[in-house]
Homo-oligomer: A and B are copies of this chain.
């Protein structure tokens, strides 16, 4: 185990600071594009979009585009517009997700659908999504357009798949991994991959960055799903137990169900079907999850994907960019600790 490439373990100290500092100047440009291109004469659009865009998001996906471009020593500025396009796609999916889930809180703030209603959230999401394609068209790379239009389809498929799996305790780990690969990891992968396209690097480089982003995305989502059963609202910026109440079958539940007694399985069936969704039921669910090490094993799975993400960076030269990308993986996992 080399110290640089497999460092997951001492995760507590991991931070986003290195990647934030690496891309800070570029991110200012991206933020300027975002601010400029979310404008509209229809006042509700910048108002609603601004709530979410200015609302404390980490800009994880655009930072990945920027950091990957830095890793490839890209000297141009095309990635600013494209990173903004990636963030618009992400923001559009968040707006629609909150409608789909009937959410009330995100990152500790009231969600747009609560403040402005579901119709406005749906339509402003559509606007940002369209705007993201306008940005890509301005850049003019059909390859980038292909990557991001494909990612968008896959995200939507993953979201529908998750909706179908909702309240179905039979959802297995493999199906669950397919869902999160689509709904979350596809955009992480695309955000990284397009850096190779703008830097005009060969297919193998595209694939390596795609693999980095994809595995990071899976790890990221696994950790989110673990936190939903392990954290409090303050840490998470949303209520603990949201997935439980929504009947979402995530890996902590899948593991606890698979390892449970007959009686426990009966509880999970009832709970995921929505017939046991009170605070005491949630407390019982968390006890069962702890009893079967389902959180720590979910995080172990996350570390597995994290290691794969870091290994995908192996071919790239050591240096500030690679270290920052490695630490971003460590940070994604450290959030759970």
Min C-beta distance of A52 to chain B, whole Å: 15
Interface residue? A126 (CB, 8 A): yes
**Chain B residues within 8 Å of A145, by CB:** 133, 137, 145
| B118 lies within 8 A of A133 (CB) | no
Per-residue contact bits, chain A 129-167, to B (CB 8 Å; 1 contact, 0 not):
111011011001010011001101101110111011000
Interface residue? A45 (CB, 8 A): yes
> How far is B163's CA from A43's CA once the two chains are assembled, in angstroms?
11
Min C-beta distance of A290 to chain B, whole Å: 31
> How far is B145's CA from A146's CA once the two chains are assembled, in angstroms?
11
| A149 lies within 8 A of B120 (CB) | no
In this complex, the interface size class of chain A, counting residues with CB under 8 Å from chain B, is: 35 or more
Min C-beta distance of A100 to chain B, whole Å: 4
Interface residue? A189 (CB, 8 A): no
Interface residue? A44 (CB, 8 A): yes
Among B45, B100, B153, contact of A119 (Cβ-Cβ < 8 Å): B100
**Chain B residues within 8 Å of A164, by CB:** 42-44
> How far is B149's CA from A239's CA once the two chains are assembled, in angstroms?
37
Interface residue? A99 (CB, 8 A): yes
> How many copies of this kind of chain does the complex include?
2
Among B43, B124, B146, B157, contact of A156 (Cβ-Cβ < 8 Å): B124
List 18 A–B pairs whose Cβ atoms lie within 8 Å, in order of A's numbering.
A40-B160, A42-B157, A45-B160, A96-B122, A96-B126, A99-B118, A100-B118, A100-B119, A119-B163, A123-B159, A123-B160, A127-B157, A129-B129, A130-B149, A133-B149, A137-B142, A137-B149, A145-B145
Quick one: given A42-B164, A122-B100, A123-B160, are A152 and B140 in contact (CB under 8 Å)? Answer: no
Chain A residues in the interface with B (C-beta under 8 A): 40-45, 92-93, 96, 99-101, 118-120, 122-124, 126-127, 129-131, 133-134, 136-137, 140, 142, 145-146, 149-150, 152-153, 155-157, 159-161, 163-164
> How far is B157's CA from A127's CA once the two chains are assembled, in angstroms?
7
**Chain B residues within 8 Å of A130, by CB:** 149, 152-153, 155-156
| A44 lies within 8 A of B163 (CB) | yes
Min C-beta distance of A149 to chain B, whole Å: 4
Quick one: given A129-B126, A129-B129, A149-B133, are A157 and B45 in contact (CB under 8 Å)? Answer: yes
| A150 lies within 8 A of B163 (CB) | no
Return the 5 tightest CB-CB contacts between A and B, nearest first: A127-B156, A130-B152, A133-B149, A130-B153, A100-B119
| B123 lies within 8 A of A163 (CB) | yes
**Chain B residues within 8 Å of A42, by CB:** 157, 160-161, 164
Min C-beta distance of A81 to chain B, whole Å: 13
Q: Which residue of B lies closest to A178 (CB)?
A: B41
**Chain B residues within 8 Å of A161, by CB:** 42
Quick one: given A119-B100, A159-B126, A160-B127, are A146 and B153 in contact (CB under 8 Å)? Answer: no
**Chain B residues within 8 Å of A137, by CB:** 142, 145-146, 149
Min C-beta distance of A39 to chain B, whole Å: 11
